[in-house]
Structure 1
Amino acid sequence: MKYMLLIYGDESCWTNDERLECMLESMRISDELQQQGKLISSDPLHSVTTATSLRIRNGHKQVTDGPFAETTEQLGGYYLIDVDNLDEAIAIAARLPPAKKGTIEIRPLFPKPQVGAEGLTDETAEPSA
């Protein structure tokens, strides 16, 4: 099952040395997951100050600088993993350094409907834990 691990934290809570160590440890974990065939993708994001938000309202684009909402924790990165179950996803998330200062949101990917010669088939059932 595929899960997205969304990394949230206060960007200002890390010293430069802590941020570097966090990145290096996260890269080691990524390499390990890659070797095990469990990592699909992972990357840190630039600061929330570089974000651009887009909304379409009544057919018109609204483009603004910054994140969608002001919060104390910002989305700072992600992991996309393919593991057996939620327990395994939680175990991986618990190893990630940002979990010590922020939050890791673990969400299963919703399967896309399959399109075949017969049309759509329903493979969009809710995932089981």
Structure 2
Amino acid sequence: MAKYLLLIHGDEREWAAMSAQERQELDEGHRAFVAAAGAAVLDARELEPASVATTLRADPAGRPTATDGPFLETKEAVGGYYLVEAGDLDEVMGLAARLYEASAGHSGVEIRPVVDHG
């Protein structure tokens, strides 16, 4: 079994402006995902908005320098993640398709295999 990180990203303004019905659909999608994945979900979290993020990058002298917010200037930000264990990518994609963000026009789900150094 391999581990996969599902990064949920989207437009934070769209998430904040969601109607009660849209919020319910989003929540139902996450419940369906967790129910289908069961024990395969190793961890999951919603993240605070990108506006409270801090990014460390090297300055010209190679010293870490902190800046507010994410590094990239983009309207999309990572809003949460799932760490899952699955037999293959097709299995993970089938599960991730249950998430609201996979079919909403203002968001998406990035699936990344986790490197096993063991």
For 1:26, the aligned partner's letter is: H
Structure-2 separation of matches of 1:71 and 1:62 = 21
Q: Structure with the greater relative contact order (CA < 8 A, sep ≥ 6): 1 or 2?
A: 2
Q: Which protein is bigger by CA-based radius of gyration?
A: 1
Structure 1 counterpart of 2:9, one-letter code: Y
Please list, as runs of the form range in 1=range in 2, the aligned pairs for 1:1-129 lying within 5 A after superposition. Answer: 1-14=2-15, 15=18, 17=20, 18-19=22-23, 21-34=25-38, 37-57=39-59, 58-101=61-104, 102-112=107-117, 114=118
Query: Which range moved further: 6-15 or 84-93?
Result: 6-15
Q: 1:95 is paired with a residue of what secondary structure?
A: coil
TM-score by length of 2: 0.82
Partner AA of 1:107 in structure 2: R
The number of equivalent residue pairs is 111
Q: Which runs of 5+ in 1 are unaligned?
A: 115-129
Q: Structure 2 unaligned runs (5+)?
A: none
Helix, strand or coil: the match of 2:95?
helix
Question: What is the CA deviation profile of residues 5-35 of structure 1, one whole-angstrom value per residue up to 9, with x for unaligned ones?
Answer: 111101111315233542354145325423x
- Runs of 4+ in structure 1 displaced over 4 angstroms? none
